[in-house]
Amino acid sequence: MSKLYSGAEIVFKCLEDQNVEFIFGYPGGAVLPIYDELKNFNSVKHILVRHEQGAGHAAEGYARSSGKPGVLLVTSGPGATNAVTALTDAYMDSVPLVCISGQVPTHLIGTDAFQECDTTGITRPCTKHNWLVKDVKDLEKTIHKAFEVATTGRPGPVLVDIPKDVQFQKTNYTKFKKQKSLNGKVNSQFTQKDIDELIKLMSKASKPIFYTGGGVINSGPKASELLRELVNTTGFPITSTLQGLGSYPGEDSQFLGMLGMHGSYEANNAMHDCDLMINIGARFDDRITGKIDEFSPKSKKVHIDIDPSSINKNVKVDLPIVGDVTEVITSTIKTIKKVKPNFAKSNKQQISKWWQQIQKWRSINSFDFVNSTETIKPQYAVQRLYELTKNKDTYITTEVGQHQMWAAQHYKFDKPNRWMTSGGLGTMGYGLPAAVGVQVAHPNKLVIDIAGEASVLMTMQEMSTAVQYSLPIKIFILNNEYMGMVRQWQELLHDKNYSESYTAALPDFVKLAEAYGCVGIRAETPGELDDKIIEMINTDRPVIFDCRVDKQENCFPMIPSGKPHNQMLLGPKDQKENKITGKGKTLV
Amino acid sequence: MVKAKSAYSIPGKQGKLDTHIIVVWVDNEAGVLARVVGLFSGRGYNIESLAVAEIDPKLNISRITIVTTGTPQVIEQIKLQLKKLVPVHKVADFKREDKKVIFKEMALFKIVGSQSKKESALKACKKYNAIILDKSNKSYVIQITALRREIDLMSKNLKKFGLVSVSRTGAVAMTRGAEVFK
């Protein structure tokens, strides 16, 4: 008879077979049997966080920067509910996570037992799928299925809830063989006809644009390489969503910068005026489209996405292509080479006027700001940070708010998987734990969380995790003492009634750093900024960098409420300032 | 100064609403109905009626029939979102007006009153495959199978014959002819 394994052992056998190296977690009553087995499985290293939300975001950072699924382990009740924000965040941004949660023993389920909650009920809307395992015989199958669901098709979070008695029960374990056949939820439905149609549209277009998103990154590093080839072959301009940054080099001349609410003037105007929009792995989010009735009125729209439900959800498209980005671009390039080997040359004339127009928009220089010699402008801080770290293959995470947009505008990415930010859910407190996860995946790389002082305080406790595991993450706080984006909206839309957006009592971040056992650095003038940033980079320990920036600075350009893409609000240098009034105030 | 006419949060033009019958084949496992219903409530779709039962005990397959209203875009989203659920095998969608599909609902009526009223009630129900399930001196329990609007009408018309209680199911659907939905 073969050896019998307990449920807790099976959890680790499965993790081993899935090549999981790190799990992020926090122990508690209902997962103690699993924690007890940790010592017997050396290939799986556990990172002890300080809050389950931190475990979730760390797993997200790990997943996004490595391309592998992130795994977290939490206890029942509060352990599971604390993880909900991170699961929802991963669901919105399509990050593969496997959350293993403990549950009260099966005979206590439904009795309002201590630390009991309906975990599968609570997490049903924020996971791709979840399971309550009531019989140890189902455990192995379920965990492997969980990894499959999380990582195939459009990636996302899953949860496996394991009652404590199931963790003790024993059964057989059969070595896992990765199967080729997938769960039927994977969709590469496109045909050569679709590709031919796409190329027909491309050769006819005189004002084309590529609009690319996180799907390119999720499709793997190969997709980014192919995208570069496709963009070069066609000579078309390209813009990217917040999540897609890095899939195309940020400093390339064909790149128009990020689009959307705080995107560049040229990207948004090009989106509005184009006659062919090729969406690759983006989802027509409301921060991108602005007023939907006036979104890119004259264009033919092509949408390449692995998730069929993304097609025609917000914007009706003319040519949907359902499939993995890598596969679709591969076919497209192959067909172009076969049918139109001189595509770029024959096309150059046709789109030359379009490029002239784009250069005109570009000359507005919409990310520009009025610099100062007395106070540090936040944009300047990000620019300096970029200049001083760009040759180091740096990984950047962010929190949510003005600093996030400035980071997206002024930090240029050259490679995929280097940029981790909470776009869909907009979770303040994402960046610090995400940086922990990134550093775990890349121990020898420079990992920086560009943060705001309000966001970072939401998950500040994870500094303690960074210190425990000697993870030299850098927390670069653009400290303006305000919830900056809230303040900006109050200034523009609520007659400068700064209701509760000022934090009147903030910790001394340098002392806070010291209290955690890491290094605190403060910069207060533009003159000392460079030296302090270099000091931070050269510190081989976790750093909290308190960068005191201008308190009044606003994030521009901006598409104001209820306006289409071609009516952007530019910065203080803009003469034709238009104000937002009336109904526009109700925007979210 | 130009006044902004709308905002990010203001919806676009609403299209025409159609009634559709969506049939979903699912694994009969714990929580599967909650997944389907939760998808509808979470995304703001409408459920007019719902019928669900296991149809294949060997393969553990249940068939869920949902009557819903929505714009063509919303109906399309409902189908695509349902197909993404792991326990969902296939999704069929029929317009209520579709002549190739049979829709039926069942209703039970309890009639309390004199013999003549009970008989009148039974007579009124005749064309809807009426069956008397229970008889007493004072009452009938009558079962009919019909379309939604016919049952609506009957529930109204039977009041004068002593209708005291109505119980009805959601619609179930099946295609006409030899073909089955794949």
- Which ipTM score applies to this complex? 0.89
Are A386 and A412 in contact by the 8 Å Cβ rule? The answer is: yes
Nearest to A586 among B3, B7, B34 (CB): B7
Are the CB atoms for A7 and A142 separated by under 8 Å?
Answer: no
Report the run of H or E that residue A277 belongs to, with start and end: strand A276-280
Q: B87 versus B8: which is more confidently predicted?
A: B87
Q: A547-569: per-residue pLDDT in tens? A: 999 999 999 999 877 788 888 88
Locate A253 and state its tokens: 């001349």
Provide the residue count of chain B.
182
Q: Would residue A343 show up in a list of annotated catalytic residues for this protein?
A: no
To the nearest whole angstrom, how far is the Cα of A577 from the nearest Cα of chain B?
Answer: 9
Looking at the partner chain, which of B7, B81, B83 has a beta carbon nearest the beta carbon of A587?
B7
Contact across the interface for A124 and B81, Cβ inside 8 Å: no
Confidence of residue B6 (pLDDT cuts 50, 70, 90): very low
Residue to mutate among A122, A123, A160, A586, with most B CBs inside 10 A, is A586
Distance from CA of A154 to the nearest CA of B (A): 10
Tell me the β-bridge partners of A447: A395
Label residue B3 by pLDDT band (50, 70, 90): very low
CA distance B100 to A105: 51
| A420 given a catalytic annotation | no
CA distance B127 to chain A (A): 43
User: Which residues on chain B are in Cβ contact (under 8 Å) with A581?
Assistant: 1, 3-4
Helix (H, G, I), strand (E, B) or coil at A123: helix
Closest CA to A557 of A287, A355, A293, A369: A369
Please report where in the chains the tokens 């320990």 appear, as a residue: A541
State the pTM of this model. 0.94
- Under the banding of pLDDT at 50, 70 and 90, the label for residue B16 is confident
The closest alpha carbon to A96, from A143, A148, A27, belongs to A148
Tell me the pLDDT tens digit for each residue of B58-97: 999 999 999 999 999 999 999 999 999 999 999 999 998 9
What span, in angstroms and rounded, lies between the C-alpha atoms of B12 and B17?
Answer: 15
Q: Is B44 touching A (CB cutoff 8 A)?
A: no
User: Which pLDDT value is given to residue A574?
Assistant: 65
Structure tokens at B109: 């009526």
**A134 is an active site residue:** no
Residue B10 is predicted with a pLDDT of 56
Instruction: Say how far apart CA A544 and CA A235 lie, in whole Å.
Output: 43
pLDDT at B5: 35
The two structure tokens encoding residue A456? 């970072």
Q: Which two tokens stand for residue A471?
A: 């993870």
Instruction: Give the pairing type, strands B131-135 and A419-420.
Output: unpaired
pLDDT at A588: 46
Residue A98 β-bridge partners: A71, A158
- In terms of Cβ atoms closer than 10 Å to its own Cβ (0-12, 13-18, 19+), residue A231 is buried
Radius of gyration, CA atoms only, chain B: 21
- What gap in Å lies between CA A462 and CA A258, rounded to an integer? 30
| CB distance A369 to A426 below 8 Å | no
Q: Three-state DSSP class for A472?
A: coil
The minimal CB distance from B7 to the residues A124, A183, A562 is found for A562
Residue ranges of chain A with per-residue pLDDT less than 50: 183-184, 575-577, 581-585, 587-588
> Within 13 A of A218's CA, how many CA atoms are on the CB side?
28
> Residue B182 corresponds to which tokens in the numbers above?
């794949």
In this prediction, residue B7 carries a pLDDT of 44
The answer to whether the CB of A51 falls within 8 A of the CB of A26 is yes
Q: Which of A16, A21, A41, A115 is catalytic?
A: A115
pLDDT at A578: 52
